[in-house]
Amino acid sequence: MKYIDEFNDPQLARRLLDEIRATATRPWALMEVCGGQTHSIIRHGIDQLLPEQVELIHGPGCPVCVTPLEVIDKALEIAARPGVIFCSFGDMLRVPGTDRDLFRVKGEGGDVRVVYSPLDALALARRNPDREVVFFAIGFETTAPANAMAVHQARRLGLSNFSLLVSHVRVPPAVEAIMTAPECRVQGFLAAGHVCSVMGMAEYPELAERFRVPMVVTGFEPLDILEGIRRAVRQLERGEHRVENAYPRAVREEGNPAAVRMIEEVFEVTDRAWRGIGRIPASGWRLTDAFRAYDAEHRFDVTGIRTEEPAECRSGEVLQGLIKPTECAAFGTTCTPRTPLGATMVSSEGACAAYYLYRRMNAPTSRSGGATQEEVAPVA
Over residues 161-186, the pLDDT tens digits come to: 999 999 999 999 999 999 999 999 99
237-247, pLDDT tens digit by residue? 999 999 999 99
- On the question of pLDDT at 378 being above 80, the answer is no
d(CA 172, CA 235): 20
State how far the alpha carbon of 285 is from the alpha carbons of 145, 195, 269, in Å: 12, 15, 5
Distances (CA, A) of 106 to 11, 78, 130, 200, 304: 48, 12, 20, 39, 22
What is the pLDDT at residue 3?
62
What pLDDT score does 363 carry? 65
- What pLDDT is recorded for position 264? 96
**201-219 mean pLDDT:** 97
How many angstroms separate the CA atoms of 277 and 251, rounded? Answer: 29
> Could you tell me the CA-to-CA distances from 287 to 69, 76, 161, 212, 215 in Å, in that order?
20, 21, 16, 34, 30
Ramachandran area for residue 57 (φ above 0: left; ψ -120 to 50: alpha; else beta): beta
Mean local confidence (pLDDT), 179-207: 96
Q: What is the pLDDT of residue 91?
A: 87
Q: Is the dihedral of CA 320, 63, 204, 55 positive or negative?
A: positive
Q: pTM for this one?
A: 0.90
For 41-85, how does the pLDDT look when each residue is reduced to its tens digit (9 = 90+)?
Answer: 999 999 999 999 999 999 999 989 999 999 999 999 999 999 999
Q: Which of 70, 62, 118, 111 shows the shortest CA–CA distance to 91?
A: 62
Confidence of residue 2 (pLDDT cuts 50, 70, 90): low
Chain centroid offset of residue 37 CA: 10
313 versus 365: the higher-pLDDT residue is: 313
Give the E-state strand segments of 161-266 in sequence order: 162-169, 188-192, 215-218, 243-245
pLDDT, tens digit (0-9, with 9 covering 90-100), for 283-324: 999 999 999 999 999 999 887 777 778 889 999 999 999 999
Q: Write down the pLDDT at residue 377.
A: 38
